Structure 1
Amino acid sequence: MGHGFGQLYKLRRIITYRLSPYELKAFAGVVSHGFPNTLRRLLENVPYMVPPIALGYVTYEQLEKEHERLMRKNPADFENDK
């Protein structure tokens, strides 16, 4: 034969892909690497996410209070009605 591994047969203009059976573990390392990595990435983004969310919440609450105040009737407008 004389050829090395992987060169035993040549196919021209045909591309083939294969996965090793050792790489088919879809959930390998999810618990040991996936969850800690997700937690780390979330905690790294907290300084960028919290201020806009807090500002939006405070703004929304103030606008709701102002809207409720403006929707109330003024009793002085109805003093002479009978």
Structure 2
Amino acid sequence: MGKHFGELAVIRGIVYYKLSPHEQKPYAGAITLGIPNLVPRTMATIWTYLPVFILGYATYVGVEEAYHLSKRKDPRDYMNEVDPNPDPCKEKREQREKEKREKEKK
């Protein structure tokens, strides 16, 4: 056998030309040709994906706003509630503040 993998089939009459990867310039023209070509290519394809991004963003913003509104408490639900743990010193504190204000007025 003596053949290596990749050299098993021999096709006669076809000539293959290959350029060594060491002789190629991998970034040839990337800056001079690639960057100026970026704008026209983007403008040509932007109409394909831009509406999808706009629709997705609008949906996201609307859903987030609806979520925050649904989590907000309605103050009317708590209008008649009484504090279950009243501050025992609150009345005394309010009385002292009231007396201070009266003294300042005099």
> TM-score, with normalisation over the residues of structure 2?
0.52
Asked which structure has the greater CA Rg, the reply is 2
Identity level (%): 36
Gaps of 5+ in 1: 1-12
Identify the structure with bigger relative contact order (alpha carbons < 8 Å, sequence gap 6+).
Answer: 1
- How far residue 18 of structure 1 moved from its aligned partner, in angstroms, is 4.3
What is the DSSP-based 3-state SS (H/G/I as helix, E as strand, rest coil) of the residue aligned with 2:19?
coil
- Establish whether residue 46 from structure 1 lines up as the match of residue 20 from structure 2: no
**Cα deviation, residue 20, structure 1:** 5.9
Runs of 4+ in 1 over 3 A off after TM superposition: none
CA shift, 1:41, in A, is 2.1
* Number of residue equivalences: 70
Query: Could you tell me which residue of structure 1 aligns to residue 93 of structure 2?
Result: none
Name structure 2 gaps, 5 residues minimum: 1-9, 11-15, 83-106
Q: RMSD of the TM alignment (CA)?
A: 2.9
Distance (Å, rounded) in 1 between the aligned partners of 2:40 and 2:47: 13
Q: Aligned AA for 2:46?
A: V
Q: Provide TM-score, normalisation by structure 1.
A: 0.63
